Chain A
Amino acid sequence: MGRALPRGLKLAKSMDSSVKEMQRGMPATDVGDPQYFHKVVDCQWACPAHTPVPEYIRLIAQRRFTDAYMLNWESNVFPGILGRVCDRPCEPACRRGRIEDKPVAICRLKRVAADYRDDISDRLPAIPTEGNGKRVALLGAGPASLTVARDLLPLGYSCTLYDKDPKAGGLMRTNIPSFRLPEKVLDEEVYRIVDFGVEAKFGEEITSLKSLLDEDYDAVFIGTGAPKGKDLSLPGRKEANDKIQIGISFLTSVAFGHVKKVGKRVVVIGGGNTAMDCCRTAVRLGGEDVRVTVRSPRKDMKASAWEIEEAEQEGIPIYDNHSPKAFVHENGKFKGVLFEIMRAEYDDNGKRKLVATGEEVLFECDDVLMAIGQDNAFDWIERDLGLEFETWGMPTVDTKTMMSTLPGVFFGGDSAWGPENIIVAVAHGHQAAISIDLHCNGKDLSENRPAPGHSLISQKMGIHEWAYENDYADTGRIDVPHAELASSLKDLKVEVELGFDDQLAFDEAERCLNCDVQTVFTPQLCIECDACMDICPIDCINFINNAPETELRQGVRVPATNDTQDLYVSEALKTGRIMAKDEDVCVHCGLCAERCPTGAWDMQKFTYMETQAAKSCQRNLDAYVHWSKTR
Chain B
Amino acid sequence: MSYIQKPTAFHPALKKNKLGLTRRDYEGAMSTLCAGCGHDSITAAIIEACFKLDLPAHRLAKVSGIGCSSKAPTYFLSRSHGFNSVHGRMPSITTGANLANRDLIYLGVSGDGDTASIGLSQFCHAMRRQLNMTYIVMNNGCYGLTKGQFSATNDKTSPSKKGESNLFEAIDLAQIAIQLGAGFVGRSFSGDKAQLVPMIEAAMSYNGFAFLDVISPCVTFNNHPGSTKSYDYVRGHNSVLDKLDFVPAEEEIEIDYAEGTTSEVDLHGGAKIHLHKLDTGYDPTNADQAINTIRTRLNKGEVTTGLLYFDGREQDLHETLGTSERALNQIPISELCPGSKNLAPINDRFR
The answer to whether A360 has its CB under 8 Å from any CB of chain B is no
B191-A589 in contact (CB<8A) = no
Closest to A11 in B: B236
Q: Give the chain B neighbours of A591 by CB distance below 8 A.
A: 2, 4, 6-7
Q: Which residue from A3, A6, A474, A559 sits with its C-beta under 8 Å from B7?
A: A474
Task: Kindly state the separation between the CA atoms of A465 and B198 in the bound complex, as whole angstroms.
Answer: 37
Interface centre among B12, B220, B243 (most CB of A within 10 A): B12
Q: Smallest CB–CB gap between B193 and chain A, Å?
A: 7
Q: Which residue from A9, A99, A464, A537 sits with its C-beta under 8 Å from B24?
A: A537
Task: Kindly state the separation between the CA atoms of A179 and B267 in the bound complex, as whole angstroms.
Answer: 72
The answer to whether A120 has its CB under 8 Å from any CB of chain B is no
Interface centre among A465, A474, A537 (most CB of B within 10 A): A537
CB-CB contacts below 8 Å: A514-561 with B: 527-531, 533-535, 537-540, 558-559, 561
| Interface-lining segment among B36-44, B100-108, B169-177, B328-336 | B36-44
The answer to whether A4 has its CB under 8 Å from any CB of chain B is yes
Interface string of B1-12 (1 = CB under 8 A from A): 111111111111
B194-A4 in contact (CB<8A) = yes
Q: Smallest CB–CB gap between B36 and chain A, Å?
A: 3
| Interface-lining segment among A306-314, A384-392, A434-442, A593-601 | A593-601
The answer to whether A574 has its CB under 8 Å from any CB of chain B is yes
Q: Smallest CB–CB gap between B339 and chain A, Å?
A: 54
Q: Which residue from A1, A100, A529 sits with its C-beta under 8 Å from B36?
A: A529
Q: Smallest CB–CB gap between B72 and chain A, Å?
A: 12
Q: Which residue from B5, B9, B23, B44 sits with its C-beta under 8 Å from A100?
A: B9
B10-A534 in contact (CB<8A) = no
Q: Give the chain A neighbours of B236 by CB distance below 8 A.
A: 9-11
The answer to whether B161 has its CB under 8 Å from any CB of chain A is no
CB-CB contacts below 8 Å: B216-236 with A: 217, 219-220, 223, 231-232, 235-236
B9-A471 in contact (CB<8A) = no
Q: Smallest CB–CB gap between B32 and chain A, Å?
A: 11
Interface string of A194-234 (1 = CB under 8 A from B): 00000000000000000000000000000000000000000
A464-B3 in contact (CB<8A) = yes
Q: Smallest CB–CB gap between B47 and chain A, Å?
A: 9
Q: Give the chain A neighbours of B302 by CB distance below 8 A.
A: 9
Q: Give the chain A neighbours of B198 by CB distance below 8 A.
A: 1-2
With A2-B245, A527-B223, A598-B36 as known contacts, state yes or no: A537 contacts B193, CB within 8 Å: no
The answer to whether A184 has its CB under 8 Å from any CB of chain B is no
Task: Kindly state the separation between the CA atoms of A98 and B11 in the bound complex, as whole angstroms.
Answer: 9
Q: Which residue from B5, B10, B231, B246 sits with its C-beta under 8 Å from A529?
A: B231
CB-CB contacts below 8 Å: A1-18 with B: 1-4, 6-7, 9-11
B35-A531 in contact (CB<8A) = yes
A528-B191 in contact (CB<8A) = yes
Interface string of B195-233 (1 = CB under 8 A from A): 101100000000000000000010110010000000110
Q: Smallest CB–CB gap between B204 and chain A, Å?
A: 15
Interface centre among B2, B8, B193 (most CB of A within 10 A): B2
Q: Smallest CB–CB gap between B14 and chain A, Å?
A: 6
CB-CB contacts below 8 Å: A383-414 with B: none
Q: Give the chain B neighbours of A574 by CB distance below 8 A.
A: 232, 235
Task: Kindly state the separation between the CA atoms of A9 and B34 in the bound complex, as whole angstroms.
Answer: 29
Interface string of B52-70 (1 = CB under 8 A from A): 1000000000000000000
Q: Smallest CB–CB gap between A250 and chain B, Å?
A: 44
With A529-B191, A531-B37, A561-B13 as known contacts, state yes or no: A575 contacts B219, CB within 8 Å: no
Q: Which residue from A1, A10, A470, A529 sits with its C-beta under 8 Å from B4?
A: A470
Q: Give the chain B neighbours of A575 by CB distance below 8 A.
A: 235
Closest to A14 in B: B235
Q: Give the chain A neighbours of B7 by CB distance below 8 A.
A: 472, 474, 537-538, 587, 589, 591
Closest to B52 in A: A1
Q: Give the chain B neighbours of A465 by CB distance below 8 A.
A: 3
The answer to whether A354 has its CB under 8 Å from any CB of chain B is no
B40-A538 in contact (CB<8A) = no
The answer to whether A585 has its CB under 8 Å from any CB of chain B is yes
A99-B12 in contact (CB<8A) = yes
Interface centre among A470, A531, A558, A561 (most CB of B within 10 A): A531
A596-B240 in contact (CB<8A) = no
Q: Give the chain A neighbours of B195 by CB distance below 8 A.
A: 4
The answer to whether B192 has its CB under 8 Å from any CB of chain A is yes
With A6-B243, A529-B231, A531-B36 as known contacts, state yes or no: A537 contacts B41, CB within 8 Å: no
Q: Smallest CB–CB gap between B294 and chain A, Å?
A: 15
Interface string of A125-144 (1 = CB under 8 A from B): 00000000000000000000
B10-A537 in contact (CB<8A) = yes
Task: Kindly state the separation between the CA atoms of A472 and B4 in the bound complex, as whole angstroms.
Answer: 8
Q: Give the chain A neighbours of B278 by CB distance below 8 A.
A: 6
Q: Give the chain B neighbours of A470 by CB distance below 8 A.
A: 4
Q: Smallest CB–CB gap between A630 and chain B, Å?
A: 28
Q: Smallest CB–CB gap between A515 and chain B, Å?
A: 13
Task: Kindly state the separation between the CA atoms of A195 and B176 in the bound complex, as whole angstroms.
Answer: 88
B6-A537 in contact (CB<8A) = yes
A539-B4 in contact (CB<8A) = no
With A527-B36, A529-B217, A598-B36 as known contacts, state yes or no: A534 contacts B41, CB within 8 Å: yes
B6-A535 in contact (CB<8A) = yes
CB-CB contacts below 8 Å: A92-131 with B: 98-100
Q: Smallest CB–CB gap between A101 and chain B, Å?
A: 9
Task: Kindly state the separation between the CA atoms of A214 and B121 in the bound complex, as whole angstroms.
Answer: 104
Q: Smallest CB–CB gap between B306 and chain A, Å?
A: 9
B235-A530 in contact (CB<8A) = no
A585-B243 in contact (CB<8A) = no
With A1-B245, A598-B36 as known contacts, state yes or no: A99 contacts B9, CB within 8 Å: yes
Task: Kindly state the separation between the CA atoms of A473 and B47 in the bound complex, as whole angstroms.
Answer: 25
Q: Smallest CB–CB gap between B15 and chain A, Å?
A: 8
Task: Kindly state the separation between the CA atoms of A539 and B8 in the bound complex, as whole angstroms.
Answer: 12
Q: Give the chain A neighbours of B31 by CB distance below 8 A.
A: 535, 595
Task: Kindly state the separation between the CA atoms of A136 and B190 in the bound complex, as whole angstroms.
Answer: 69
Closest to B246 in A: A1
A4-B192 in contact (CB<8A) = yes
Closest to B22 in A: A539
B36-A9 in contact (CB<8A) = no
Closest to B23 in A: A539
The answer to whether B157 has its CB under 8 Å from any CB of chain A is no
Q: Give the chain B neighbours of A597 by CB distance below 8 A.
A: 34-36, 219-220
Task: Kindly state the separation between the CA atoms of A448 and B330 in the bound complex, as whole angstroms.
Answer: 84
With A9-B239, A595-B35, A597-B35 as known contacts, state yes or no: A535 contacts B12, CB within 8 Å: no
Q: Give the chain A neighbours of B217 by CB distance below 8 A.
A: 529
Interface string of A565-609 (1 = CB under 8 A from B): 000000000110000000001010101001111100000000000
A558-B243 in contact (CB<8A) = no
A594-B35 in contact (CB<8A) = yes
Task: Kindly state the separation between the CA atoms of A2 and B278 in the bound complex, as whole angstroms.
Answer: 14
Q: Give the chain B neighbours of A1 by CB distance below 8 A.
A: 52, 193-194, 197-198, 245-246
Closest to A100 in B: B9
Q: Give the chain A neighbours of B37 by CB distance below 8 A.
A: 529, 531
The answer to whether B79 has its CB under 8 Å from any CB of chain A is no
Q: Give the chain B neighbours of A3 by CB distance below 8 A.
A: 194
B235-A11 in contact (CB<8A) = yes
Given contacts A472-B8, A472-B9, 13 further A-B contacts (CB under 8 A): A4-B192, A4-B193, A7-B192, A9-B302, A100-B9, A529-B36, A534-B40, A540-B11, A574-B232, A585-B11, A594-B2, A595-B31, A595-B40
Interface residues of B (CB under 8 A from A): 1-15, 23-24, 31, 34-38, 40-41, 43-44, 52, 190-195, 197-198, 217, 219-220, 223, 231-232, 235-240, 243-246, 278, 302
Task: Please list 28 pairs of residues, one from A and one from B, whose beta carbons are closer than 8 Å in the complex, sorted by A's number.
Answer: A1-B197, A2-B198, A6-B240, A6-B278, A9-B236, A98-B12, A99-B9, A464-B1, A464-B2, A464-B3, A465-B3, A471-B5, A474-B7, A474-B8, A527-B219, A527-B231, A528-B235, A529-B191, A529-B231, A530-B191, A531-B35, A531-B40, A537-B8, A558-B13, A587-B9, A589-B6, A591-B4, A595-B31
Q: Which 3 A-B pairs have the closest CB atoms?
A: A597-B36, A472-B7, A4-B194
